[in-house]
Chains A and B, each alone.
Chain A
Amino acid sequence: MSHRRWIWVVLAVAVAVVGALRLRFDVDVLGLLPDAVPEVRGLAAYQRHFASGQQLILTVSGSDPTATADAARDLALSLRAHTNLVRSAEWQAPWLEHPSDIPELLGWLWLNRSPGEFAAFADSLSADRLDATLAASRDTLATSLSPAELARVANDPLGFARLPGGGVPEWAGADAGFAGADGTFRMVAVEPVGTSGNYRRAIRWLADVRGVVGAVPAVQSGAVRVRYTGGPSFAAEIATGMEGDFGSSVATTGLVIAALFWFAHRSWKPLLRLLAMLALTLVLALLAGGAVFGALNVVGLGFAAVLLGLVVDYGLVTHQERVAAPGLSPRELRRELAPALGWAAATTAGTFLALAFAGLPGLAQLGALVAIGIVLGAALMLWQFSQPLPTAAIPAASAPNPAPVHWYPRAALAATGLLFLAASIVLAVRRPPALDTSAAPLRPRQSEAYEAMEELSRRLLRAGDPAWVVVSGPDAATVASRMDAARARLGAARDAGIVREFVLPTDLWPNPGAAMTNRGVALGLSGRRDGIRDAALAAGFTTNAMTLADAVFRSWRREPSPASASPWPTNATARWITRQAVARDGGEWFALGMVRLADDTPAPALVADLARDHVWLTGWSLLGPALVRHVGGRVGWLTLGVGATLVGCLLLTFRRFREVALGLSALAFSGLLVLAAMRVAGWSWNLMSLVAIPLLLGTSVDSTIHVMLAMRRHAGNLRAVWRTTGRALLLCAGANLAGFGSLAFSSNAGLASLDLVCALGVTAVFFVSLALLPAWWLASGGGDQPTAAAPSSLYRTAWWRLALRLPRILPRPLLGHAAAAAALAYAAIRPERRRIVARNLLPWCGGDRRMAARAAWRNFAAFGHKLADLWRYEAGIDVLPLVRPGAGWLTPDQVRAPGRGVLLVTVHLGNWEFGAPLLAKAGWPLLVLTAAEPAVGLTELRRDARARQGVRTLVVGNDPFAFVEVVRWLDGGGTVALLLDRATSGHAAPVSWCGRPFLASPAAAELARATGCVVVPVVLPRVGHGYEVRMLAPVEYDRQSLGNRAARAEFTGRILRAFEPAVRECPDQWFHFVPAWPPVEDGDSPA
């Protein structure tokens, strides 16, 4: 193994090891989303830092309120007993279970109020005003009809719980959302132990919790129904879904690919190799993804099936080529295929990499993984399938080209019209698919956790889902000031009708300065506690009513917490309450508030305004529209970019407006069908499926290109196109369809919708490309267009006229090199033309493809020099100094026999035109037979140019009496020159040349039979800077024996074989740019 290979191997192993070490699965849905969107940042902070984002929530529903409450209590108690699983389990507001915790919290809240507020409260308990305060409370108890007020004042006649602006007492006044109004629906909030960091642990943990829950009698008996939701449940569900998606989609795609391959090739060994390479590609891409990203998310993991569907194409193509060319060495085949596969892989990988610009990190990861996999897979497939096939696997030669399908064009055009009409009607009547701006595509599709959450939202949060306000900052003071600023902004928004109501946890936020000031006042009140109690008893209250006040006074007398300790009270109720609204993570502080927007409509301006001050207004209902705004514009630009690249690709491939337009029309028509089908199926666009548009454009243009190129190659013979390119496309489309389609059942709704649209798109493009596009191509005159089997489109009158001016401007060496460079450039950008030349030269190179390929390049360069000299000749410049008689030169007298003309026969070798002036000068009365040129006016242009050099041209094919004139010319002792190595259509002699079947022009044999002329083969190869006219020995024949076609073909073969040594000597001067040898079925491929 070479040094360079070792470096690659070491590098690959290193990447694999790093990938294996770093690889993990990220089940956080928010990891799919762009952090730059404020709603995403806020929601991520909420999920990550606040207790309610991490709790498992059990919903308990029954038919009887009492039984439901008892079951919820039993569940909580059972779970609390499992301290290895559960940190806490709450079935009702904690202060109902621990009412003794409330005074400490109230005391803390008062200490952290503004000194002015606390002083006012203290004043209400002063000796002067205490009786009035107590009397007011007594009046309230006598007359109030407010339940909250009655509950509060009965236990708190001094008003400790009557904090200015609300606060905890209002929280305490509700049931904290633990029970629905009718009591038959409750929730139990469970804080887990040890589920973070590992999704498998979350799955196991949830299973253990289910076991504990299942053992509770009320659950066992079916008296209540328990469902699971909240962070751990979503994590376990998403992780299970990811594993399932990965496994099932890969298995499904693999099976479909195997079935398709077996259907096409019926061969086990290549199939097993294909599957092995696919598995290897998948593993390597996974490891590379692990090395690059570390964590793979739920959408990113969907790459597997898509990748398999795409990479298999390279295996199929390489295998097809290997079958078609079993004689090539692996290196030769790789060299042959590498450019095509490389470009195909690069464009597809590029399209997927472009997903990075779609604005969704989840999709960007999927795109990058697919791109990595495509490059790896293409290399692996090329390496593996370029290996020689066992003899048994080489199929027998295929049948000759089939007859065209005559009924097809009309039927396909009718189908096009009908489909267009139907799709247009569907879209006109039912409108195009709408855009779903919700965040639903981010959620699991079938999800117990989500259904439970919806029920919870419906039965407990009767006013609908709230939006959250997350305030962050490096310290408590910054967060407090940001909350103040946010309060002002939200207040203004409420005044403007944007916000219905909002709550910020300002009451729960520590205010160290105020606490320091208030402590003195609080201690003063504590010192008067006995007097206050006596006053209350005297006012008619019992000691029951003073329990709360006594506890608050005690809490004030306790030593304050050290500065390093938690700034909040530490009892269970206080911890529970603060965990709902306050969080710290390292050096970052977070506060959580709630907002109800008017009509629940998004308010992007308010979100942006708050975000400038690190305040994130967020919520699931806001997320969808925000993401659609974020993604929509990017997808638009991405589509434009991909579209422009696509038009460029089509232009580069076809160079004709008509075919470019056909390609674009095929894509547009596919798009129309996709839209109509989506509408009929009731699908809508969403922020994930929108990305399918550029993805489909990027991956589907290949199909249109392959089909139109195949139509060119097969001269519009549809059956041949179907049998070759169609079959390959069917395999590729089937594999792609399997790749995308297998994810249609993904547990992630967005990924499923994206892949459903992609699968639909692949189907539509495949159908349109293969069933309709050929008819469009034929109807638009595609059959008349030049193809790779016809002369180049550059061989046109205007270009030729222009070229004839160049010799007057440029010296011969410069023009020669310029023309050679242009020819080489043409060969580079038209590989199919270069391949034709290489195939033409293959027999002359002993079947050595590599040699033929090199000869093809030289051939193009030599042709450039030949053209430069030809332009000089036709421009009227004397070229005789370039031409000299060579070996076997004969004078007319040496050849001519009485009454017999001379037929100078040549092939497309060197600069055959240059023989004419030399021969004319040597006294040969020359008549050049030529076929009509492919462009209007070009025949005449070139005929006139020859005439100016004293050479007469007769265009055969146009004039039915031309043959008669030629015969007369020969009978008169004249000399006729013609080319033998290209037959006109329908008039060819099958001969054997260079050991291969060849279709030659039978004209020489026909003329020999008709006139008995002397047949002299002549070649004019370029030698040095000039040309040499080499006359070969005349080919003898018996005129009488030429009476039948077979004899004339045999004679034609003999003449041709006389040229073999000359052509073999300089194959790079045998200029044939259309297929010279009869076609052999070699399996077209869409590489």
Chain B
Amino acid sequence: MKPLPPSAAWLRVAALLAAVATAVPLRAAGNPVVASWLRSQTNVSAWSADFVQTRRLPALARPLSSPGHVWFAAPDRFRWELGDPVQSIAVRRGDALLVLSPRLKRAETLDLRAIARGPMRDAMALLDTGFPRDAGQFAARFEVQSVREVSGRFDLELRPRDAGARRLLSGLGVSLGTNDFALMATELRFADGTVLRNDFTNAVRNPVVGPERFETAVPEGYSVSGSARTNAPQKTPGP
């Protein structure tokens, strides 16, 4: 048995959320598809869509699918709702990430400032950018493996530039509409064989999204566990 390392688990979630990072800023020089896609994102300040998330896990014989809805607002806000009725919610505003489990009344918090770089940050970079704001920085993290046109869509194959990140996150796929470069699907492939795919429908560009969608305060009655590793065995901080 090989349990999934905790950091890999984070990567998985990060990548899962990243699937809606509708604009991967591929500055990959000279690639006309990437360049056109980047140009198309410049006027996107908000975005929302329905999606179906499909998870293929080594622990499961069959993939699991769940419906959900996502909202995004530039530059760094999003909200994911997964399940019907909603089973899980992930909200990001700035450097605060809140994961809620309404059924169990549980909340997890994460301070994104603590992740300066490394595999987790590479994955989270997909979220940071949303619609591209810093293409150079993003290009420094990912390289474009291939761009193919299949059945009215462009399939982009990406992979992390950092070798350490690749140990956990082996590759990413992004599908875009050929006519308007709208995000159609994302797929993340992990080194342990886990695959997370999101297929988007009913996407709306620049909808009006109220700020309450991105509220990161923990709702009343939830038990909270933070990202601080308070239970880990520690070192003595003195002689």
A contact residues around B136 at 8 Å (CB):
none
Which residues on the B side are within 8 Å of A47 (C-beta)?
236
Identify the interface centre among B83, B225, B232: most chain A CB within 10 Å of its CB: B232
- What residues of A have a CB within 8 angstroms of the CB of B164 in the complex? 64-66, 69, 183
Contact of B239 among A29, A147, A174 (CB under 8 A): A29
Tell which of B5-13, B149-157, B170-178 binds the partner.
Answer: B5-13
Contact status of A594 and B57, CB under 8 A, knowing A29-B239, A142-B66, A154-B4: no
A277 within 8 A of B: no
> Are A580 and B233 touching (Cβ within 8 A)?
yes
Contact present for B228 and A463 (CB under 8 Å): yes
**Is the CB–CB distance between B234 and A594 below 8 Å?**
yes
Indicate the size class of the contact surface on chain A.
35 or more
Tell whether A551 is near chain B: CB-to-CB under 8 Å.
Answer: yes
Task: Confirm or deny: A219 has a beta carbon within 8 angstroms of a beta carbon on chain B.
Answer: no
B191 on the interface (CB 8 Å rule)? no
Chain B residue contacts of A503, Cβ below 8 A: 230-231
Within 8 A of B (CB), among A526-557: 537, 540-542, 544-545, 547-548, 551
Q: B59 to A453, Cβ gap below 8 A?
A: no
Q: A29-B239, A147-B9, A545-B59 are in contact. Are A155 and B3 (CB under 8 A)?
A: yes
A143 at the interface (CB under 8 A from B): yes
- For A453-464 the 0/1 string (1 means CB < 8 A from B) is 110110011110
Q: Does A150 contact B (CB under 8 A)?
A: yes
- Of A95-103, A844-852, A887-895, A1051-1059, the one with at least 4 CB within 8 A of chain B: A95-103
With A146-B88, A155-B4, A174-B6 as known contacts, state yes or no: A65 contacts B59, CB within 8 Å: no
Give Cα A133 to B204, complex, Å: 38
Query: In the bound complex, do residue A187 and residue B235 qualify as a contact, i.e. CB atoms below 8 Å apart?
Result: yes
Within residues 184 to 239 of chain B, which ones have a CB less than 8 A from any CB in chain A?
Answer: 225, 228-239
Chain A residues with Cβ under 8 A from B90's Cβ?
145
A139 touches B87 (CB 8 A): yes
A547 to chain B, nearest CB (A): 3
Q: Which residues of B contact A465 (CB under 8 A)?
A: 237-238
* Nearest residue, chain B, Cβ from A447: B239
- When chains A and B are docked, how far (Å) is the Cα of A542 from the Cα of B16? 22
What is the CB-to-nearest-CB distance from B222 to chain A, in angstroms, rounded to a whole number?
13
B124 CB to closest chain A CB, in angstroms? 11
CB distance from A500 to the nearest CB of B (A): 9
Contacting residues, chain A, for B163 (C-beta < 8 A) = 66
Q: Are A462 and B228 in contact (CB under 8 A)?
A: yes
**A-side contacts of B58, CB under 8 Å:** 154, 542, 544
Residues of B within 8 A of A229 (CB): 235
Q: Is A501's CB within 8 Å of the partner chain B?
A: yes
B232 CB to nearest chain A CB (Å): 4
Q: Check if B73 is an interface residue, CB within 8 A of chain A.
A: no
Interface readout for A162-186 with B: 1 if CB under 8 Å, 0 if not? Answer: 0000100011111111000111100
Give B163's nearest chain A residue, CB to CB: A66
Chain A residue contacts of B106, Cβ below 8 A: 146
Q: Is B114 an interface residue (CB 8 A)?
A: yes
Q: Is B80 an interface residue (CB 8 A)?
A: yes
The reply to whether B64 and A177 contact each other, CB–CB distance below 8 Å, is: no
Is B89's CB within 8 Å of the partner chain A?
Answer: yes
Residue of B at shortest CB range from A577? B233
Which A residues are in CB contact (< 8 Å) with B2?
99
- Interface positions, chain A 824-879, Cβ under 8 Å from B, are none
A914 close to chain B: CB less than 8 A: no
CA distance A184 to B117 in the complex (A): 8
In-complex Cβ contact of B99 among A146, A157, A442 (8 A): A146
Asked if A511 is at the interface (CB within 8 A of a chain B CB), the reply is: no
Query: What 0/1 pattern do residues 81 to 103 of B give for CB contact below 8 A with A?
Result: 01100011110000000010100
Residues of B within 8 A of A172 (CB): 3, 6
Which residues of B sit under 8 angstroms from A95, Cβ to Cβ?
A: 3
What are the residues of chain A within 8 A of B120 when measuring CB–CB? 181
A840 to B115, CA, bound (A): 90
Indicate whether B29 reaches chain A with its CB closer than 8 angstroms.
Answer: no
Contacts of B114 in A (CB 8 A): 181, 462
Please provide the chain A residues from 54 to 87 with a CB less than 8 Å away from any CB of chain B in the complex. Answer: 55, 57, 64-66, 69
Q: Are A157 and B59 in contact, with the CB atoms below 8 A?
A: yes
Tell me if A660 counts as interface (CB < 8 A to partner B). Answer: no
Contact (Cβ within 8 A) B162 A65: yes
Q: With A182-B117, A184-B117 in contact, do A453 and B238 touch (Cβ < 8 Å)? A: yes
Query: What is the bound-complex CA distance between A541 and B64, given in angstroms?
Result: 11
Contact call B60/A457, Cβ cutoff below 8 A = no
B118 touches A65 (CB 8 A): yes
Task: Assess the B239–A238 pair: CB atoms within 8 A.
Answer: yes
Q: Which of B17, B66, B118 contacts A143 (CB 8 A)?
A: B66
Q: Which residue of chain A has the shortest Cβ distance to B67 in the bound complex?
A: A143
Q: Contact between A150 and B13 (Cβ–Cβ < 8 Å)?
A: yes
Q: Among A145, A183, A189, A457, which residue has its beta carbon within 8 angstroms of that of B88?
A: A145
Q: Is the CB of A444 within 8 A of B239?
A: yes
B87 touches A182 (CB 8 A): no
CA distance A573 to B230 in the complex (A): 19
- Name the B residues within 8 Å of A444 (CB-CB): 239
- Asked whether B232 lies within 8 Å of A230 as measured between CB atoms, the reply is no
Asked if A151 and B3 make an inter-chain contact with CB atoms under 8 angstroms apart, the answer reads yes
> Which of chain B's residues 43-77 have a Cβ closer than 8 Å to chain A?
55, 57-62, 64-66
B119 CB–A CB distance under 8 Å: yes
Q: How far is the CA of A29 from the CA of B225 in the complex (A)?
A: 36
Residues of B within 8 A of A228 (CB): none
Within the assembled complex, what's the spacing in Å between the Cα atoms of A151 and B83? 19
A176 CA to B225 CA in the complex, in Å?
Answer: 16
Is B27 interfacial (CB 8 A cutoff)? no
Q: Say if the beta carbon of A110 comes within 8 Å of chain B.
A: no
User: In the docked arrangement, what's the CA distance between A183 and B228, Å?
Assistant: 16
Is A53 at the interface (CB under 8 A from chain B)? yes
Checking A147, A173, A453 against B12 with a beta-carbon cut-off of 8 angstroms, the contacting residue is: A147
Q: B61 — which chain A residues lie within 8 A by C-beta?
A: 537, 540-542
- Check A177/B233 contact, CB under 8 A, given A143-B66, A145-B80, A155-B4: yes
Contact residue among A53, A541, A620 (Cβ-Cβ distance under 8 Å from B59): A541
> Do B1 and A99 touch across chains, with their CB atoms under 8 A apart?
yes
A102-B3, A150-B9, A548-B3 are known contacts; what are 10 more A-B pairs with Cβ within 8 Å?
A52-B235, A57-B235, A145-B17, A145-B82, A146-B101, A154-B57, A181-B118, A439-B238, A449-B239, A453-B237
Closest 6 CB pairs of A and B: A547-B1, A66-B164, A143-B87, A147-B9, A620-B238, A580-B233
Chain A positions near chain B (C-beta within 8 angstroms) = 29, 46-47, 52-53, 55, 57, 64-66, 69, 95-96, 99-100, 102, 138-139, 141-151, 154-155, 157, 166, 170-177, 181-184, 187, 189, 229-231, 234, 238, 439, 442-444, 447, 449-450, 453-454, 456-457, 460-463, 465-466, 501, 503, 537, 540-542, 544-545, 547-548, 551, 577, 580-581, 594, 596, 620, 623
Could you list 7 A-B pairs, sorted by A, with CB under 8 Å? A138-B60, A144-B87, A182-B115, A182-B118, A238-B239, A503-B231, A542-B58
